[in-house]
A and B are shown apart, each in its own frame.
Chain A
């Protein structure tokens, strides 16, 4: 600045009538002025005022976001709601699938398996795919730079999964009742099995979503869904797989559907199934917490 200021009068005086000189020199202060960008924001409107919102309101906002995303995703709604309900109706009214257990009505036999499928769809497949894409889009990375704690983010994901599961249970329950479902067992045991099953599938879903890229994750999650659906004893008894049954019953889907069937059909406590699920839950959640990558 100083040199330009000092220089300017001298130049104009020394070379009067030399427009090139005057323009060049005068242009400098003018440019410096134009560099000042006028503000249209009120004074102090942007003054720093950092602060973290209360945890509960963050949890509420994030849960609402997770649910909005989930329910806005057509495939997800198809997978979580339309498909299980359609399957329940088809299995209980059409007779091409044999009920493998004598003395149990079609709807009583199939409802627990379909509930297990619905839980797997939401907690595992849906969560894995959503998380995989959130990582790919850099959403999780960016959320990591906001005041939202990771625990609250995971809490919100869990709450949204539980909310959707509640919706699934209500709809499937209503449809099943209208088709003559007579569940046995007690509510606490059913809820316990569902809770452990949800923890299992959430852990596996987060493990997949937290390690694979979006499209890969989508493919693997859908493939596993299909494999677990077919081999997991959802619509058939594992007995029909012959000797493989001994191995297949350890699959998480099999454990969940067997467990639900044990309590909802036979009113027995599914201790072995709960143990299998608990081991899967520990493995899944443990691996997820070690291997999960936020970006």
Chain B
């Protein structure tokens, strides 16, 4: 059974449709990242899954239950994007309070130290820095030892060390069999942490798959090299297998796109040699998730 099933989810705010027929599935014990630009509908989606918002269409099943079902409360950990803690309590007090709701909580003291919050245990929540509040919020989400955790932008505003501590925790949750659903607009975060990525834009899924599937679609490899300007790329194409493209841009820089395998590489270099051309800086480029992301969602600011 999947840990989370979202089918044709629709969420509207007035006349604005934030989530527009979104579907995806999270498998148990894996990390799934909802990746998308700001305003893509990630938070709306996760908040419906958490039971905080009602869906306007479609269905959501969390561990086989309706979202927000009382029986899920102990099984699911939630880290909202911001807020959610008593500003007047100390960090340690909040964590111990949340721990007291669970039968077998993680030791609050250890959790604080591992997330770099040992020194602020007695600091009021309202005096924590943004990054510290963020990590406390993460601690609150996992302290009850849930089966499934929802993390909405868990590393937003964190410095590199704090980010690493968060990644460490997420990776450890995964290793110990916890299902993690996180939202992020950070490509490298999705690439490093997630088993599965669902790219969301304008409330719809524009791509989904494992990081490998998304970045290594074999038809989409790139081979770049530099040589003297003005080579006949049409001629070059004739030497290459079907389905490749070749172009010069800017002058002297060449880009071949297609299934980049040893055979193709050999064909390109052989063609160059045959034409007395010295190909330099020959490099095969793997697409990063960032390339995929921009390809799918566009580069324009919204």
Contact = CB atoms under 8 A, between A and B. Distances in A.
A10 B262 contact: yes
Interface residues of A, number: 55
Interface string B167-192: 11111110111100000000000011
Interface residues of B, number: 67
A141 B176 contact: no
Task: Give the dominant DSSP class at A's interface.
Answer: loop
Interface in A35-62: 35-41, 43-53, 57-58, 61-62
B102 A147 contact: yes
A2 B268 CA distance: 21
Given A25-B284, A50-B146, A137 B87 contact: yes
A37 B192 CA distance: 8
A46 B178 contact: yes
B84 A46 contact: no
Contacts of A101: none
Contact of B84 (A37, A48, A58, A142): A142
Interface string B82-107: 11111111000100111011111010
Interface in B114-154: 114, 140, 142, 144-147
A3 B221 contact: yes
Contacts of B140: 142
Interface string A194-224: 0000000000000000000000000000000
A100 interface: no
B84 A14 contact: no
Contact of A10 (B88, B171, B266, B283): B266
Interface stretch (A68-76, A175-183, A240-248, A262-270): A68-76
Contacts of A166: none
A6 B140 CA distance: 45
Given A37-B168, A145-B51, A145-B52, A62 B97 contact: yes
Given A50-B102, A147-B102, A35 B177 contact: no
B100 A58 contact: yes
Task: Give the dominant DSSP class at B's interface.
Answer: mixed
A139 B172 CA distance: 27
Contacts of A36: 171
Q: Which of B97, B173, B212 has the most CB of A within 10 A?
A: B97
Contact of A48 (B97, B101, B178, B286): B178
Interface stretch (A15-23, A91-99, A120-128, A249-257): A15-23
Q: What 5 A-B pairs have minimum CB-CB distances, sorted nearest first?
A: A51-B103, A10-B262, A142-B84, A138-B83, A61-B100
Given A41-B176, A141-B80, 14 more contacts: A3-B221, A35-B191, A39-B168, A41-B169, A43-B175, A48-B178, A50-B144, A51-B103, A53-B100, A137-B86, A139-B85, A141-B84, A142-B85, A145-B76
22 contacts: A7-B284, A14-B266, A20-B283, A37-B168, A37-B170, A44-B176, A45-B106, A46-B175, A48-B145, A49-B103, A50-B102, A50-B144, A61-B96, A61-B100, A134-B86, A138-B80, A139-B85, A141-B52, A142-B80, A142-B84, A144-B52, A145-B73
